[in-house]
């Protein structure tokens, strides 16, 4: 087997991508940190500037930026097969883990021990989401303009029911214009790099500073690869529509999550607000509590947080199985959801990455990313409030607005054990600096003890 000019064999890369996949806990921030530590600091396959440029592009895309970043760097190293392996391995461990836990959830969920574990997980997840607000906010809200964008995004989505894609596109347009005009508030750094130590320069890495030969394909290649992944993505959607009709649960799953793959910009936590709104309110596939349970599963297993969509598809198909065995239908629902969620990610990378590689250092693009990230902080704050209301209170009421409504908790319905667990998880995360997995496992154990003890 020939070794590419950069000296990294495909076999070695597969082993590293499998290692990254096994360690990809902690949401997008943790997953990006793992990739940075292994690929930049440890292996020196790619430099700091190139890593951040790839990340900037992936954050501008709809879908999970960490998985797309893996596919992008895999493509840089070993062309299309490298991107496929890196992106698929990033998803596979989480898919298998959540599928197994979904069976446990529906078959044993009413067992007090299991019920208590999920009760504890929900409380801990609230602390994790709040931590995401703080992490992203500390990086993105570096001046009053960015803080203003975040505040406007929060008001728009929480009080005005503004569509999430509109919020992101507006923020991106503002940042792009600000960057083109050289306005200082829209320029400047941030990033996901190492907290200390010397920066790894592109020239000192395996890929170097130049553009790999395969990173400059012609228009014909781009059109062919785009057509291939469009067919792989959309053929099952149209086949289900033709065979089962628009009202069948499989068609609805394929259509909704395909739409989600196109419009959900801004990372996993922002996507969850969109999915929760539709899965709970529009389709009635899951309850708010089940949505939190699904997020707890996604948080406690490797892989992208957007894998919570697999849990939603599993429950949706289980409940509307028709004449099919419910567990078989649920399994097919999970597979279908995962397919239409992640297949577009490969399309965005293989179609766009060759052109994005030529835009390294583009000021306007970086400014658009910064404004979008600021808006996402407001969206994540909205998600944190939604989780808090539905985790800590038994009842909520809707407050009408001219443009829609928003929910407020009934204070008398506070769930004191859940509040105590959430506060404890918050202290563990923020004060004691305990890592996420021990916090989730500890909260699950405490929840199980509480429920079993009656």
Mean residue pLDDT of the chain comes to: 84
Q: Contact 83/74 with Cβ under 8 angstroms?
A: yes
Domain assignment present for 113: yes
The DSSP output letter for 202 is G
3-state secondary structure at position 397: strand
Query: Residue 5 is encoded by which pair of tokens?
Result: 């000019």
Work out the pLDDT band at 195, boundaries 50, 70, 90. Answer: very low
Global pTM reads: 0.73
The predicted pLDDT at position 92 comes to 92
The predicted pLDDT at position 86 comes to 95
Domain assignment present for 434: yes
Evaluate if residue 84 carries a pLDDT over 90: yes
For the chain, what is the domain count?
Answer: 1
- Alpha helix locations (H) across 393-435? 416-426
The predicted pLDDT at position 110 comes to 65
Distance CA 239, CA 258 (A): 14
Domain assignment present for 311: yes
3-state secondary structure at position 190: coil
The predicted pLDDT at position 96 comes to 93
Q: Which residue did the predictor score with more confidence, 273 or 150?
A: 150
The predicted pLDDT at position 97 comes to 87
Evaluate if residue 287 carries a pLDDT over 80: yes
Domain assignment present for 203: no
Mean pLDDT of 291-309: 81
The predicted pLDDT at position 35 comes to 86
Q: Contact 121/440 with Cβ under 8 angstroms?
A: yes
3-state secondary structure at position 408: strand
The predicted pLDDT at position 317 comes to 95
Q: Which domain holds residue 331?
A: 10-187+214-452
Domain assignment present for 286: yes
| Residue 395: partners with Cβ closer than 8 Å, 6 or more residues away | 409, 410, 412, 413
The predicted pLDDT at position 25 comes to 66
Distance CA 40, CA 369 (A): 22
3-state secondary structure at position 432: coil
| Residue 411: partners with Cβ closer than 8 Å, 6 or more residues away | 393
Domain assignment present for 153: yes
| Residue 100: partners with Cβ closer than 8 Å, 6 or more residues away | none
Domain assignment present for 364: yes
User: C-alpha distances in angstroms, 155 versus 133, 380, 381?
Assistant: 15, 12, 10
Report the alpha-carbon angle 124-416-396, nearest 5: 85
Domain assignment present for 54: yes
The predicted pLDDT at position 190 comes to 42
Report the alpha-carbon angle 48-53-56, nearest 5: 125
The DSSP output letter for 421 is H
> By percentage, how much of the chain surpasses pLDDT 70?
90
Query: Residues 390-446: pLDDT tens digits?
Result: 788 888 888 887 777 788 888 899 999 989 999 999 999 888 888 777 888 898 899
């Amino acid at each position: 087997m020939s070794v590419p000019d950069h000296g990294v064999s495909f076999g070695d890369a597969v082993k590293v991508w499998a290692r990254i996949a096994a360690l990809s806990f902690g949401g997008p921030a943790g997953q990006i940190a793992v990739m940075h530590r292994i690929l930049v600091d440890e292996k020196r396959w790619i430099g700091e500037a190139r890593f951040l440029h790839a990340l900037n592009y992936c954050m501008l895309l709809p879908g999970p930026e960490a998985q797309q970043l893996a596919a992008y760097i895999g493509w840089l190293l070993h062309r299309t097969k490298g991107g496929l392996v890196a992106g698929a391995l990033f998803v596979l461990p989480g898919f298998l883990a959540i599928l197994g836990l979904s069976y446990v959830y529906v078959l044993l969920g009413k067992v007090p021990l299991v019920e208590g574990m999920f009760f504890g997980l929900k409380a801990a997840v609230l602390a994790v989401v709040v931590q995401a607000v703080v992490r992203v906010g500390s990086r993105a809200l570096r001046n009053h303009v960015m803080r203003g964008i975040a505040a406007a995004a929060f008001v728009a989505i929480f009080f005005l029911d503004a569509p999430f894609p509109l919020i992101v596109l507006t923020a991106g347009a503002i940042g792009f214009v600000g960057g083109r005009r050289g306005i200082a508030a829209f320029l400047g750094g941030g990033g996901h790099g190492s907290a200390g130590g010397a920066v790894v320069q592109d020239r000192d890495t395996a890929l170097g500073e130049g553009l790999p030969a395969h990173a400059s394909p012609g228009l014909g290649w781009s059109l062919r690869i785009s057509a291939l992944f469009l067919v792989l993505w959309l053929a099952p959607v149209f086949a289900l529509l033709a065979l089962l009709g628009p009202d069948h649960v499989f068609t609805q799953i394929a259509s909704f999550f395909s739409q989600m793959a196109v419009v959900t910009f801004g990372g996993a936590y922002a996507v969850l607000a969109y999915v929760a709104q539709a899965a709970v309110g529009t389709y009635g596939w899951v309850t708010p509590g089940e949505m939190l349970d699904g997020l707890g599963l996604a948080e406690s297993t490797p892989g992208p947080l957007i894998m919570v969509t697999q849990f939603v598809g599993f429950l949706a198909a289980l409940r509307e199985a028709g004449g099919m065995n419910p567990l078989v239908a649920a399994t097919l629902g999970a597979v279908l959801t995962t397919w239409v969620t992640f297949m577009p990610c490969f399309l965005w990378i293989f179609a766009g990455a060759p052109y994005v590689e030529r835009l390294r250092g583009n000021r306007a693009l970086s400014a658009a990313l910064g404004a979008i990230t600021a808006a996402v902080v407001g969206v994540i704050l909205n998600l944190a409030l939604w989780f808090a209301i539905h985790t800590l209170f038994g009842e909520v009421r809707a407050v009408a607005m001219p443009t829609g409504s928003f929910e407020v908790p009934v204070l008398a319905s506070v769930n004191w054990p859940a509040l105590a667990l959430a506060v404890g998880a918050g202290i563990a995360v923020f004060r004691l600096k305990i890592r996420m997995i021990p916090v989730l496992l500890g909260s699950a154990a405490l929840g199980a003890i509480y429920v079993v003890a009656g």
